Amino acid sequence: MTISEPGGPASSLEPAAGSLPPRPTPRPGPPRPAPRPGRPAATIAAPPSSDPHRFGRVDPDGTVWLITGSGERNIGSWQAGDTEAAFAHFGRRFDDLATEVALMESRLESGTGDARKIKAAAAALAETLADAHVLGDVDALAARLTTIVEHADETAQADKAKREEHRAAQIARKEALAAEAEELAANSTQWKVAGDRLREILDEWRTITGLDRKSDDALWKRYSAAREAFNRRRGSHFADLDRERAGARQAKEAICERAEALADSTDWGPTAAAFRDLLTEWKAAGRAAKDVDDALWQRLKAAQDTFFSARNAATAERDTEFRANAEAKEKLLAEAERLDTGDLDAARAALRTIGDKWDAIGKVPRERSAELERRLRAVEKKVRDAPTSGVDPEAQARADQFRSRAEQYERQAEKAAAAGREKDAAEARANAEQWRQWADAAAESLGKR
């Protein structure tokens, strides 16, 4: 079969090359946006039926004519068979153009294509219609392409507004994230929580697209600067903390050494006070690293336990001795309270003997001391106040004064011993002994009168 077009030789297969202008080859573009809200996705409809017989004719010599509103024009020469084959061949060419136009209309209506590119493609295709070698309603096709071009401008404007709105929303999101990062960098001391949040902001940041390059770069610099400022401040904080912990460690190691030096002391009162002071220093020293702090605390506690265990054992032994002393003094009191003041000289002599034994027995539990001393003083007062003949009142008053001073020093000795001030207790006991000797001497002189 042979087909020839106006101005060209016959071909053995299809219409001669160059009979139709080359059509643009579709190229892959950017991802298509989702269909616009409210517009259902359009489907590519089959091209409308276009009877080539209505829009063309074929002469007996094979010349093919296209009939348009502006007249007829020769679109080729058909030598490959009967005239119906010519109508079918050039009709399929028209259908191909109609399908291409329908695709443009569909993409423009659904919003799945770039309106600017669709407009350019429609305009380019419209320019080829004047020379197109097809049979069909070319005028209707041209009108549809004109509508596409006009509608594409409106769609492009709407797309631009939508892109601007989207860009503004994305800028606002990143501005909010940058401001939050700056707030964390400036004020937060919740280092782990804030650090985690800054990483979450970065993850969210990477999902936000559609900004212009200038705005995106400026906002990234804000976030990046905030993150760096936070990292510097956090690093400085932990460096200071490390220095503080190192200082606390040194101070607590010194405290432990002093505590260990006191652990074997038997100077119970002063050493117990020293341990209380060490605990106060420990609390003021701050915290070292947790594992170091725990180990140092165990050292201090071990030294304390050694000392206080020994003191408690000594106290228990002393308490046992004091209870035995209290029982012995109870027996002496029972003997003293049975004294008969009818024989005053014998009563005084017996009371002096009881007093010597009383002093030799030693200390009693603190809670018993006042009661036992009160009972002994009552016996002494009973003997002292017993009626006698020929007693010098002034000498009696002097003896009573000496005895009162002795009792005063004895009470001082008991208080000092209870407080752990052994030196003061020993001095008070010596003074008490001296005043009691003077009192006894004065009492003897009264008995000789």
Average pLDDT, the chain: 83
Residue 412 reports pLDDT greater than 80: yes
End-to-end CA, the chain: 178
Q: What is the pLDDT of residue 392?
A: 64
> Could you report the per-residue pLDDT of 161-194, keeping only the tens digit for each?
888 899 999 999 999 999 999 999 999 999 999 9
Three-state DSSP class for residue 165? helix
Q: Which residues contact 9 (CB under 8 A, 6 or more apart)?
A: 16
7 φψ region: left (φ > 0), alpha (ψ -120 to 50), beta (else) = left
- Confidence class of residue 24 from pLDDT cuts 50, 70 and 90? very low
Q: Using N-to-C axis directions, what is the helix angle for 268-284 and 213-262, rounded to 10°?
A: 170
- Confidence class of residue 389 from pLDDT cuts 50, 70 and 90? low
Return the residue matching tokens 């400026």.
Answer: 218
Burial class (CB in 10 A: 0-12, 13-18, 19+), 52: buried
Residue 313 reports pLDDT greater than 50: yes
Q: In what order do the strands lie in the sheet with 56-58?
A: 3-4, 71-78, 63-68, 56-58
Pairing of the two strands 71-78 and 63-68: antiparallel
Q: Which alpha helices (H) appear in 83-137, and where do they start and end?
A: 83-110, 115-128
Residue 296 reports pLDDT greater than 50: yes
Q: Which residues contact 210 (CB under 8 A, 6 or more apart)?
A: 163, 166, 167, 170
Three-state DSSP class for residue 190? coil
- Confidence class of residue 280 from pLDDT cuts 50, 70 and 90? very high
CB distance 7 to 131 below 8 Å: no
> How many CB atoms sit inside 10 A of residue 38's CB?
5
Burial class (CB in 10 A: 0-12, 13-18, 19+), 309: exposed
Q: How far apart are CA 26 and CA 446, in angstroms?
A: 143
Q: Residue 75 — φ and ψ, nearest 5°? A: -115, 0
- Confidence class of residue 446 from pLDDT cuts 50, 70 and 90? low
Q: How far apart are CA 281 and CA 278, in angstroms?
A: 5
Q: Residue 388 — φ and ψ, nearest 5°? A: -130, 160
> Could you report the per-residue pLDDT of 58-111, keeping only the tens digit for each?
998 989 999 998 899 999 999 887 889 989 999 999 999 999 999 999 998 887
Q: How far is CA 324 from the centre of its chain?
A: 63
- Confidence class of residue 25 from pLDDT cuts 50, 70 and 90? very low
- Confidence class of residue 441 from pLDDT cuts 50, 70 and 90? confident
Residue 197 reports pLDDT greater than 90: yes
Q: What is the pLDDT of residue 123?
A: 92
- Confidence class of residue 41 from pLDDT cuts 50, 70 and 90? very low
What is the model's pTM? 0.42
Across the range 279-300, mean pLDDT stands at 89
**What sign does the CA torsion over 186, 187, 192, 194 have?**
negative
Residue 311 reports pLDDT greater than 90: no
Q: How far apart are CA 226 and CA 409, in angstroms?
A: 76
138 φψ region: left (φ > 0), alpha (ψ -120 to 50), beta (else) = alpha
- Confidence class of residue 50 from pLDDT cuts 50, 70 and 90? low
Q: Which is more confidently placed, 111 or 220?
A: 220
Q: How far apart are CA 161 and CA 156, in angstroms?
A: 9
> Could you report the per-residue pLDDT of 374-387, keeping only the tens digit for each?
888 888 888 888 77
Residue 46 reports pLDDT greater than 80: no
- Confidence class of residue 393 from pLDDT cuts 50, 70 and 90? low
- In DSSP terms, 68 is beta-bridged to 71
